[in-house]
Amino acid sequence: MELQDYIRILRRRGWIIILLMVMTSTAAFAFGKLQTPIYQSSVDILVQPARADWGITQSAKILLRSYASWMNTNTRAQEVIDLLHLDRVPADLLGDVQVASDESRLIIQMTVEDPDGDLANDIAQAWTDIFIQWRNAENAKQRKEDRVEAFQLDPPRYALDRPKWKINVVAGLVLGALVGSVITFTLEWIESGVVRRPEDIDRFLGLPLLGTIPAPKLDASRPYALGNTPTPSQPSSAPATPGPVPTPSPQADAPTPPSSGEEEIGPIEPTILLSKGD
């Protein structure tokens, strides 16, 4: 197919693509507005050895995952619930918490999701305080040069996690364009063998067009557009005025003889003949 063929298809059926794009983007926007907003709070905890020793640094990297596992337990979730007096169960709260370790930076990353952004910050802060207190208690048992300290880098901060209606609208536009394109070119492929215009003959057969037969123009006021069928006369709307009734004459009923070239002979009257004796 050439470029002009694509342009012709878009001119004929481009409205399908536009309609589907509007429908999918509107649906995505409405779905995003109907969802309950979920906020995500994040906090970074730095795990730092007491001295810059390669052995202690490697030990801290190895222990970093175990620290994340210690935080991601139902026991820690229950401690946070008791501390903040939350009306939740540990398994439910733990499902909204994610703890990950970054060995390259010696950082434990923690995120908390909740419909209330301030409450998400409070949960993240309480969880961080519990971990730091535990590390301080463990460091008290170690020599100063063997300790592994834990520090909170910044206070927790929350941001809207979902729904992100702008991304949803853009995704709806793209999806509508794809679906509309598939439908448009599928319909064009189904009707590819149908000849509707004079240029279709040149495109399909590669033959020049010599002439066309114009379609008859129908007149709505005439029921018969073709042929010599007479048009029924319209009845007159004015009523007929009754006239005098003619009196039939006796001669009117007599047959009229055919006309000829001779002089017409009138009626013959009867004649009575009398003899001399009478």
For residue 200, the number of C-alpha atoms closer than 13 Å in the C-beta half-sphere is 8
Mean pLDDT of 199-228: 63
Residue 130 CA to residue 123 CA, distance in Å, equals 11
Q: What is the pLDDT of residues 159-198, one digit of tens each?
A: 888 888 888 889 989 999 999 889 988 887 877 666 666 6
The pLDDT assigned to 162 comes to 84
Are 144 and 53 within 8 A, CB to CB?
no
- Is CATH 3.90.1170.40 correct for 38-162? no
The pLDDT of residue 260 is: 47
In angstroms, the CA 190 to CA 221 distance is 39
Confidence at residue 124, expressed as pLDDT on a 0 to 100 scale: 93
What is the location of CATH 3.30.70.1130 in the chain? 38-162
The interaxial angle of helices 3-34 and 165-190, nearest 10 deg, is 140
Segment 66-124, tens digit of pLDDT: 899 999 999 999 999 999 999 899 999 998 999 998 888 889 999 999 999 999 999 99
